[in-house]
Amino acid sequence: DAGVTQSPTHLIKTRGQQVTLRCSPKSGHDTVSWYQQALGQGPQFIFQYYEEEERQRGNFPDRFSGHQFPNYSSELNVNALLLGDSALYLCASSLYGFGEKLFFGSGTQLSVL
């Protein structure tokens, strides 16, 4: 049983570019949440997707957007990249209504130069 998988593992972009990160949830899960973890800090909630809709959103600008597909996989898009967007981006999946039982992926390390 595959857990949460994320791709790519590492990514290097320059300021102003756009990036797409991908996540496949754990088998049987239908809800995907995204977190940003800056160096030396705890993860911060970006948003959550269920039934292909954004259900909850943290305090992140509109440059951060997402999508969920019918197979429950998800993408995180960041436009107009800033140096401060450099971070580890974690995807977590759960069954809707059981958000306290999150399973995390290994993350995508994004470096913005």
Chain positions contacting another protein, by CB under 8 A: 33, 35, 40-45, 48, 55-58, 88, 90, 92, 99-100, 102, 104-107, 109
Q: Residue 11 or 102: which CB sits closer to another protein?
A: 102
Gap between the Cα atoms of 17 and 44, Å rounded: 22
Nearer to another protein, 45 or 67 (CB): 45
- Rounded distance between C-alpha atoms, residue 104 and residue 78, angstroms: 20
- Minimum distance of another protein from residue 16's CB (angstroms): 27
Radius of gyration, alpha carbons of the chain: 13
Q: What is the largest CA-CA distance in the chain?
A: 39
> Bridge-partner residues for 12, per DSSP?
111
The residue among 80 and 105 lying less far from another protein, judged by its C-beta, is 105
Closest distance between another protein and the C-beta of residue 60, in Å? 12
Least separation in angstroms between CB 58 and another protein = 7
Residue closer to another protein, measured from CB, 7 or 41: 41
Q: Which of 46, 27, 56, 58 is nearest to 110 (CA)?
A: 46
- Shortest Å, Cβ 10 to another protein: 11
Instruction: With residue 12 as reference, give the H or E element that holds it.
Output: strand 10-13
